[in-house]
């Protein structure tokens, strides 16, 4: 039986992680759960899964929860609480499904504590991949990707000769605005940006998908997860989202993972790895799909993607700036205070004014993020 | 350094095997070569690769070759000679690239002698898979598939949880007559049937591809190679021949191998397995491909495929009848003596009049084949 701590248990990935665990009660035990502020959801999860410890990031809400649940479970709060859930003795694996840079410290602490990581928080690798991956190697733990693209790449690398890896082909649906001109994007509303054609996800990641910043972050994440140069990662638009990503080898063979758009697949693969267990749900029906299309990404319309490649190639602290700037910009956009095309503009402005620090340590990374958040964030971060 | 015996060295797969070996002279040594009758090609191969032993199946041609090459190489002939090349002491791996049931005995003998098999001869598994696979397991040797579909399936199984295999998706280009009605096939000429849209192959296999009998034989081969019920093998038309085949797992994940149509890839993968070495050649360019299409196979137009599924489900000696009938029919068609749609008709007639023998031994299998050849084959078999 694997003991699991879930950071971000009320979100999209968190609840689907609990769906997988619910289907295999003999295989998993939930030992810790952490949320930002959704104590109503959390209290139900406590009743169902009886964790030892829960964290409510928001102090006030944590106090409210304590009154609701009594002494059966330890309620912690703030960053210390989140880290406590990440390093809890009893956990074998930590599902890190918080959104944003808030995941950096808990991931590093969990790796330091020797926990396997199921990683849905891409920001931690984007900003601190140069710290996390060597540490993971030193500690001998696995960083198991939990999004459909990186899981697909990870699956496509299993049993293959890693020394023969030629390139990674990172697929993208292209989001709701594929095929639009830069001008057409100017008038995009929040509700338009929130309607993704294929995937049902959280708000932040849905906006990131509409700007294709998400693909930029995934590119940076892939670079660290699979130890591959940015130049060897190709982005391919595959609008039907059936091919979840691919790996090309030196002999010209391409190995791909395909599937229906269902986040429970990468979640379950990470939790059971390397076992394949039955997962209820739709299967890819090639007879009815009929066709798959491929396109080159449009770097003019999706300036956020172009900037990501620039930030990734610059390296050092630049990806942190890219990511923090985007987190702020998305929050501003969701709050209705800036337009859709202001998102890449804001990222570009912050990147342009940043003096790159090579090989930043975790405090520097978090510090840069907080400085940007302090300056630009006028709303609560969505997690 | 791996020592290789090549049965069928003058054919399409044989010469491409030598291309791969030529590119990696440090990794391979050719110890034996066997051809049907092409002694001009063989004598050049002897000069270049200096094998210990060569076989010319045709006795007269063998005698001619002996005069040409002197005493530097042992020249053997007939089935005994072919088997001698298959079991030669010095070989680590035997590439079996002869076409037709002539491959059955040499493959069984090579497996018995503990050689790894690179298998391009599908007829041996189609007719004697129930003998070869258990023997391979007993001897602890590898049967490495050398055609693009089975190699793709094999590659898609590497590092994966075999117990979670849900189904095999065997792809097919559909051949030159995809989309035609049964009536339209009646007037097909030999040269039309020999022009395959994607793959450059030998004559027999090109006709088999046009009738889709080839896919039927591959279905039977896959059944043995991967120990999967016929019902769990789905045939999928993928006209661009980019997806070479796929495996679906219990969690809904599909792993696929894609590539350009280049037989050197499965050849090289089998020879170097599990290593991936550089192979010169075109790569899949998804930006320029633009799209991939999928269709259900048309069992009315391609009756040969429908009959294959019937033969495979019947089992026992029926696949041998199916295969031998097809070998005869293709030879007759190539000789201009029967029409294109007479190929499945001839297969059906022979299947209808056959009394199935359950679990036939190798002599029975070969006997059934020879009986059919003796009765119907008016021309030399093409190899």
- What is the per-residue pLDDT across A21-69, written as a single tens digit (0 to 9) for each? 999 999 999 999 999 999 999 999 999 999 999 999 999 999 999 999 9
pLDDT reading at A112 higher than 80: yes
Average pLDDT over residues A103-114: 98
pLDDT value of residue A278: 97
Other Cβ atoms less than 10 A from the Cβ of A239: the count is 18
pLDDT value of residue B290: 96
* Residue of A158, A246, A296 lying closest to B159 (CB–CB): A158
**Chain B residues within 8 A of A278 when measuring between CB atoms:** 164, 250-251
Helix runs in chain B, H state only: 12-23, 39-49, 59-69, 78-86, 104-112, 122-139, 148-157, 182-185, 190-193, 203-211, 213-225, 264-272, 286-289, 303-314, 318-334, 342-352, 362-376
pLDDT value of residue A214: 96
B257 contacts A251? CB cut-off 8 A: no
A297-354 pLDDT, tens digit per residue, is 999 999 999 999 999 999 999 999 999 999 999 999 999 999 999 999 999 999 999 9
Average pLDDT over residues A230-249: 98
Best to test chain B binding among A251, A266, A267 (most B CBs inside 10 Å):
A251
* Residue of A252, A254, A255 lying closest to B279 (CB–CB): A252
pLDDT value of residue A20: 98
A252 contacts B259? CB cut-off 8 A: yes
Greater model confidence, A378 or A127 = A127
A183-225 pLDDT, tens digit per residue, is 999 999 999 999 876 666 678 889 999 999 999 999 999 999 9
**In percent, how much of chain A has pLDDT > 70?**
97
By the CB < 8 Å criterion, does A262 face chain B?
yes
A252 contacts B260? CB cut-off 8 A: yes
pLDDT value of residue A203: 87
By the CB < 8 Å criterion, does A70 face chain B?
no
Other Cβ atoms less than 10 A from the Cβ of A202: the count is 17
Q: What angle is formed at CA B13 by the lines to CA B174 and CA B105, rounded to 5 degrees?
A: 100
pTM, two decimal places: 0.96
pLDDT reading at A381 higher than 80: no
Rounded distance between C-alpha atoms, residue A102 and residue B165, angstroms: 39
pLDDT reading at A382 higher than 50: no
Please provide the average confidence, as pLDDT, over all residues in chain A: 95
Helix H or strand E segment including A135? helix A122-139
Other Cβ atoms less than 10 A from the Cβ of A307: the count is 22
Listed as ranges, residues in chain B with pLDDT below 70 are: 197-201, 377-383
Average pLDDT over residues A9-15: 96
Nearest to B240 by CA among B206, B197, B285, B296: B197
By the CB < 8 Å criterion, does B278 face chain A?
yes
Q: Sorting pLDDT into bands at 50, 70 and 90, what band is A234?
A: very high
Q: Are B226 and B268 in contact (CB under 8 A)?
A: no
**A-B C-beta contacts closer than 8 Å:** 152
**Shortest alpha-carbon distance between residue B153 and chain A (Å):** 11
* Residue of A246, A253, A294 lying closest to B287 (CB–CB): A294
* Residue of A157, A251, A277 lying closest to B269 (CB–CB): A251
pLDDT value of residue B35: 98
pLDDT value of residue B100: 87
Inter-CA distances, A269 with A16, A97, A225, A278, Å = 13, 15, 16, 10
A124-133 pLDDT, tens digit per residue, is 999 999 999 9
**In percent, how much of chain A has pLDDT > 90?**
93
pLDDT reading at A359 higher than 70: yes
pLDDT value of residue B204: 86
B254 contacts A259? CB cut-off 8 A: yes
In DSSP terms, A116 is beta-bridged to: A93
pLDDT value of residue B223: 98
pLDDT value of residue B381: 45
Strands B243-249, A143-145: parallel, antiparallel or unpaired by DSSP? unpaired
B276 contacts A248? CB cut-off 8 A: no
By the CB < 8 Å criterion, does A25 face chain B?
no
């Amino acid at each position: 039986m694997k003991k699991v701590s879930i950071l971000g248990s009320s979100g999209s990935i968190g609840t689907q992680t609990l769906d997988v665990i619910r289907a295999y009660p003999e295989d998993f035990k939930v030992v810790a759960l952490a949320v930002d502020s959704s104590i109503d959801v959390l209290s139900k999860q406590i009743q169902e899964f009886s964790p030892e410890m829960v964290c409510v990031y928001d102090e006030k809400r944590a106090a409210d929860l304590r009154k609701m649940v009594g002494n059966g479970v330890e309620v912690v709060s703030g960053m210390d609480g989140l880290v406590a859930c990440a390093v809890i003795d009893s956990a074998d694996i930590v599902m890190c499904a918080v959104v944003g840079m808030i995941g950096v410290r808990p991931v590093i602490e969990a790796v330091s504590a020797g926990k396997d990581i199921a990683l849905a928080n891409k920001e931690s690798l984007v900003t601190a991949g140069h710290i996390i991956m060597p540490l993971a190697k030193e500690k001998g733990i696995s960083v198991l990707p939990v999004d459909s693209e990186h899981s697909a790449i990870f699956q496509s690398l299993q049993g293959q000769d890693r020394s023969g890896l030629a390139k990674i082909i990172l697929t993208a649906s292209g989001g709701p605005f594929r095929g639009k001109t830069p001008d057409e994007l100017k008038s995009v509303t929040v509700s338009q940006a929130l309607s993704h054609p294929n995937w049902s996800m959280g708000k932040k990641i849905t906006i990131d998908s509409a700007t294709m910043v998400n693909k930029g972050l995934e590119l940076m994440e892939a670079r660290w997860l699979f130890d591959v140069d940015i130049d060897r990662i190709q982005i391919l638009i595959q609008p039907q989202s059936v091919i979840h990503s691919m790996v090309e080898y030196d002999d010209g063979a391409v190995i791909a993972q395909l599937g229906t758009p269902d986040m429970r697949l990468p979640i379950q693969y990470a939790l059971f790895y390397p076992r394949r267990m039955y997962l209820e749900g739709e299967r890819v029906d090639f007879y009815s799909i009929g066709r798959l299309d491929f396109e080159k990404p449009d770097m003019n319309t999706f300036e956020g993607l172009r900037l990501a490649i620039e930030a990734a190639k610059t390296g050092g602290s630049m990806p942190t700036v890219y990511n923090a700037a985007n987190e702020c910009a998305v929050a501003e956009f969701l709050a209705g205070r800036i337009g859709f095309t202001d998102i890449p503009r804001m990222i570009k402005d912050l990147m342009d004014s940043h003096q790159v620090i090579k090989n930043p340590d975790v405090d520097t990374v978090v510090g840069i993020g907080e400085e940007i958040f302090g300056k630009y964030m006028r709303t609560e971060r969505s997690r």
